[in-house]
Structures are given as structure tokens and as C-alpha cells.
Amino acid sequence: MFRSLALIAAATLGLSAAALAQTEPRPQPEKTDVKASPSAQKSCFFSRDVRGFAAPDDKTLYLRVRAKDVYRLDMKGRCPELDWEHKIAIDSRGSSSICSAIDATVLVKNPIGVSRCSVETLTRLTPEEIAALPKKSRP
């Protein structure tokens, strides 16, 4: 009896393996060439190196970092008063360097205190992208 069950199990496994081998492989996501786009390269900055900012609306923030770098931060939702405030703060999570969106929280004063705005994406702009920014969006 045990031998019969073992043979049935082995036959079932063999058929299952054959069926899996005949299925088409899943398409793999395309790998992006990090060297192709400077904005795709991982780059970090320290919050203390932020020299200026511009907020064209309550969901977008541009940061001037050091002398020539500009980063675009897209908020997860509305960040009230962001486009009206003259002072903001960047709170970095974990360490003082910011390398991805999860590392940064934007702090903005509001009439009843401080709003903490989560960042959804953090993008380092290329020199061409910086030059293409409207004047009101340049930090």
C-alpha cells in the first residue's frame, strides 16, 4: 500500500514538473543603466547642505543642495502652507544623510503648530532639468 502511494506521488510530481517546464517564463523587468541618467544614480546629501528651496505648489519642493545640486521632492499628499512658507526644515530619519524619500520628512509651520509632510519621491535633477525649471520653481 505504501509503495503504491509512493509511486502515485512520484508520478504526480513528475507530471507537475513537466507542466511547469512547459509554461512560458515570466518577463523580467528591464534593468535601467545607472550610468545613462545622472538623476537615476543614487546620491545622498546632508540636510545641513541645503542652501535654498522653492515650492511651486503644496505637493512639490525643490531644494538647492550645496552650490549646484537641485533635488525635487514630491510629497505623498498635500503639505499645507508649503508654497506660502519662507522657512522649512528637513528632518532626516536614521542618520543625517538623505539618500531616498523615506529618509526625509519636511517640516512646515502652520497656524496651529508644525506639519510633518512625508516625501514620496526624491529625485536629483540633471543640469538640463534645472535649466528647464520655471523661474518661480528654482531654489
Please tell me the predicted confidence (pLDDT) of residue 42.
57
Parts of the chain with a pLDDT under 70: 1-42
Please tell me the predicted confidence (pLDDT) of residue 94.
77
Please tell me the predicted confidence (pLDDT) of residue 66.
93
The three three-digit cell numbers of residue 71, written as one number: 533635488
Closest CA to 63 of 47, 79, 41: 47
DSSP-derived secondary structure letter, 93 = S
The residue extents of the domains of the chain are 39-137
Please tell me the predicted confidence (pLDDT) of residue 46.
92
Going by C-beta distance under 8 Å and a sequence separation of 6 or more, which residues neighbour residue 56? Answer: 62, 83, 134, 136, 137
In degrees, rounded to 5, the angle at the alpha carbon of residue 122 between the alpha carbons of residues 118 and 123 is 160
Please tell me the predicted confidence (pLDDT) of residue 87.
87
Closest CA to 94 of 86, 103, 85: 103
